[in-house]
Chain A
Amino acid sequence: MGNPHNKMTKRKFAFDGICNSFFGFSAIVWLGVFVPYNSSAQTDSVKKANELKEVSIRAIKLSKRQLSASPLQILSGKDLERLNSLSVADAIRFFSGVQLKDYGGIGGLKTINVRSMGTNHTAVFYDGVQLGNAQNGQVDLGKFSLDNIEEIELYNGQKSTIFQSARGFASGSSLYLNAKQPEFENGQTDHVKASVKGGSFGLINPSVLWQHKVSDAISASLSTEYKNANGRYKFRYTNGVYDSTFVRKNADIETMRLEAGLNGKLQDSSVWAAKVYYYKDHQGLPGAIVSNRYDFTQRLWNENFFVQSSYKKEAGRYNLMASAKYASDYVRYLDPDFVKDDGFLDNRFKQRELYLSLTNRYKINSFWDVVLSSDYQYNTLDANLDYFAYPARNTFLTALATQIHFERIDVQANLLSTYVNDKVKQFFSAGNKNELTPTVMVSWQPFDNLKEFRVRSFYKSIFRMPTFNDLYYTSIGNTLLKPEYTKQYDLGLTYIRAFKGHKLQQISIQTDAYYNKVRNKIVAVPSANLFRWSMQNLGRVEIKGLDVNVQTVWNIVTDLSLTTGLTYTYQQALNVTDKNLNYRNQIVYTPVNSGSFILGADWKNLAMNYSYIYVGQRFNQGANNVYNYVPAWYTHDIAFHYTKVLKHDRFRISAEVNNFLNQYYDVIANFPMPGRSYRFTIAYSY
């Protein structure tokens, strides 16, 4: 067996030698932020140019980014358009405190984990109504195209308003995807936007958006998109001795989305909206790249349909908001490598959801509001699994909330009551659950004459219900599960400052320190053998973190403006479940350091975007040992846009290079990410 003692010297690996490129990362970031500033020995002509803009700059307006009592990050409008992003998932990588779990490629599952609490603690709202998934509690953000999204907001805790549905109070963090709202200037009755994207992975992605003004009070919109890609890309694995490049196979995807909406305004200035959404896809499921296995046969089909409508009246002392939704989701999974006595494994899952929400606000006086929100939700899951329970769930949410708001202080508090009742057609049901959870949020301007500086803080206790899969998945589910609880404590500050007559026109900083605790974390644990896992309330996690966000706006010369966005995240997320097993080890896939940097530039008809993402070293399993070590990864993306406006017609051409230094990496072990890739867009709008 060779001489074992020779090998002993090789034990020290990786940890002592890891070059912490985080410092390198900070270096470029600060270079990016400050180089132009320091270089700005001002010339007279520049001064003059700036003087013209001063008027608008002096009266700095605090946006919701500064005023929100809960930490808020936004990507919207031009910034979002400039960014190298195909889906919502690509864009949210630039938020702090966020990890995107990405299985790679266009069709690979992409879910968001905010502040290490776990995917199921983030609710995703599409045009104000939550996208539910009672089966596994996860929303695949790779399925949501940015094509008709105007704004992405991420709130830690909850949205900073009490005038919201009870669902809005019911998650550890909330991601809002807001579709483009039709706006018509004088005389306009139609807007059309058509675009085609194409590039690496065999991508072809045409889309059309049509907005029509039906009357002064009503507008209609129609958005449709088709996407086809063979999903092939090169990836490389090496251990320094072997060095192999492969092509990702069975990664093809074809999707279709159709969305229609009506927006209206009534005479009392209340507004209503209605939306129908249909999405369908068919894709290959490329599996883990393990030794001797590089091709796969598994297939997946998805079909999502929902119709939702909402009504909002905000005038007067009594305000009302109502919404309703019906959703139906179908998933089919086919595994030709798994042959049962009656053919291939061919699982079909069908979910239905009915959702009703009513929110009442009463403004007691100029500074004191109270809200009562009630939601009802009904979910069912059917599956062609043996021994399946066919669960149905009734959820009643009631939130009682109050807000006291003065110019310098804003206090929001709410108590959320959740009642859940599960029924099954056979076997055991999880029965009833009743929970009462509070949230308190404060935003405060401590100095009388410094409106630009605010302190914010929140405390939130919330939980996630065990999903249908957790409870009822045949041979895994455990109906004895309790909810998974989280407690969040956050303290942060925001500061914004505008500069007169400088190249640096505006700088804005938001930073938060937080402490989260996850209790009764639902984890899969072994029972009799590897086929027989069971879900248990086992995990406890303690998370200490720091999020930093800095945005700057520059005006270098008359036509050249720059914006930068910088995020940094520090997270210590420790497993404190069991003193004998991986105790106080950093939890799986959570880097201690991560960050991003975006530089956007606009010059006349040209726009450019450079973006950088850094994710520090982490571990792909619970034990923080050398075999589970995953090195840091960092990608650089760049995009160029050219816009030409002819009267009302607007043409736009974009070219993007993503991961242009061609770094090969995995986000999830053995699910390789693409190296360098290209994308081109031609868009026309009227």
Chain B
Amino acid sequence: MKKQLLYRLSLAVMVSASLFSCRKDPQPAPEQVEILEPTPSGPVKGLYLLNEGNMNMNKASLDYLDLATGVYRRNIYNQANPEIVKGLGDVGNDIGVYGSKVYVVVNLSNKIEVLNAKTGKKLGQIPLANSRYITFYKGKAYASAYLGTLGDPTAGNGVVIEIDTATLTEKRRVQVGRQPEELAVVRGKLFVANSGGYSSKNYERTVSVIDLNSFQVTNKIDVAINLHRLKADQYGDLYVSSRGDYFDIPSKLFVIDTQTEKVKKSFDIGVSEIVIDGDLAYYYSTEYSKITGDNTITYGMINVKTEIPLTKSFITDGTNEKITVPYGIAVNPITKDVFVTDAKDYVSPGTLYCFNPAGIKKFQVTTGDIPAHFAFVY
């Protein structure tokens, strides 16, 4: 009797054990393809879109739009690089194409991934803790990071590192202000916007100027608190956004003359993101009101030659009403089509919209989570 019971119990255990093999074998996340309207753009072959993915979800992902064929490939990284442990990583913060390589800055994965721009295959990576943004100049990449050293209570400043794009290694680093954000090279000088975002009672207010020969900070331009965006126009000016303090001080936009290294103009315009193409700057702003509990979203343009805001927007067909949170923008340098992304609730797949120069929607497509950063491939 007892034996029979034991036999049956062990049978039950064995049957349960066989369940183990019942879980489907894991596979690399698939790529998905959609066919959109082609936009042949001469030398510009395509467009990478980096989806940030929500923090802790490890869902940074890369989409690619082939402009000539209109083929949109969602989530190309995992199929191209199935051997990379846990994939692209957590919170993709910036992307840039330089030469034949794509550089993807993955903030919480503490790295800059370097991929072959044609195939998406990984070529290498540069470790950089709390990395933020990247720019390129004369065979070098420059990247900002929120903190130079981790685990030191007195080391609150960020750094900019110089990367050799041939060897993919860090060559030099320089300490800048607290929590540096975007950066750009103008007149052979590197400018980086400091935010001080970790100390809401004591934001930074400066743009650091770095001499590229000595790789030393030569000046700090006082602008406004909590700086973020920093984009260069073709006239030697920088457009720098201040995020404000989210309470009393609103977001604003400033223009810096890189010759004098001084603020020469400011706009009472809130700016979440801005891109400059030729004589036009395209921006949008999302501002939250504590009083109404609502977001106010505006889309606008500025003529950077005359430094006068335009009265028209780059979305004219009412599509803006459908966008919950604009979170990324790019302008096709050839066709002047404008790409805008919607991050929705930040935990769902977003949408990429494409507008023609008249502001009429050409197409839209579903992206990864938090579509945010663009890079054109030539």
Contact = CB atoms under 8 A, between A and B. Distances in A.
Contacts of B347: 621-622
Interface stretch (A24-32, A370-378, A403-411, A457-465): A24-32
Given A291-B84, A528-B287, A636-B16, A339 B33 contact: no
Given A291-B90, A532-B246, A241 B28 contact: yes
Interface of A: 1-2, 4-5, 7-8, 10-11, 13-14, 17-19, 21, 24-25, 27-28, 31-32, 35-36, 39, 43, 46, 237-242, 244, 287-293, 297, 336-345, 386-387, 428, 474-475, 478, 480, 523, 525-534, 536, 556-557, 560, 581-582, 599, 610, 612, 620-623, 625-627, 631-634, 636, 661, 663, 669-670
Given A291-B86, A337-B151, A36 B30 contact: no
A287 B288 CA distance: 30
A3 to B, nearest CB: 10
Best-buried of B16, B26, B370 by chain A (most CB within 10 Å): B16
B220 interface: no
A7 B200 CA distance: 47
A1 B46 contact: yes
Best-buried of A239, A474, A625, A631 by chain B (most CB within 10 Å): A239
27 contacts: A31-B11, A39-B5, A239-B87, A240-B82, A287-B56, A288-B90, A290-B90, A291-B109, A292-B106, A292-B111, A337-B150, A340-B198, A340-B199, A386-B201, A387-B200, A526-B346, A528-B243, A528-B286, A528-B287, A529-B272, A533-B346, A556-B5, A582-B348, A621-B54, A621-B347, A631-B24, A636-B13
Contacts of B370: 530
Nearest to B130: A337
B358 interface: no
Nearest to A636: B16
B263 interface: no
Contacts of B26: 238-240, 631
A290 B23 contact: no
Nearest to A578: B345
A11 B369 CA distance: 18
Interface stretch (B73-81, B164-172, B230-238, B300-308): B73-81
A610 B11 CA distance: 13
Contacts of B155: 339
A428 B197 contact: no
A397 B76 CA distance: 56
Given A7-B33, A293-B90, A631 B23 contact: yes
A239 B13 contact: no
A475 B200 contact: yes
Given A290-B86, A529-B272, A627-B368, A10 B30 contact: yes
A21 B147 contact: no
Contacts of B16: 24, 28, 612, 636, 661
B349 A342 contact: no
A1 B66 contact: yes
Contacts of B55: 530
A13 B73 contact: no
A341 to B, nearest CB: 4
Interface string B266-288: 00000010000000000000111
B325 A526 contact: yes
A1 B150 contact: no
Contact of B12 (A28, A625, A634): A28
A481 B121 CA distance: 47
Contacts of A478: 293
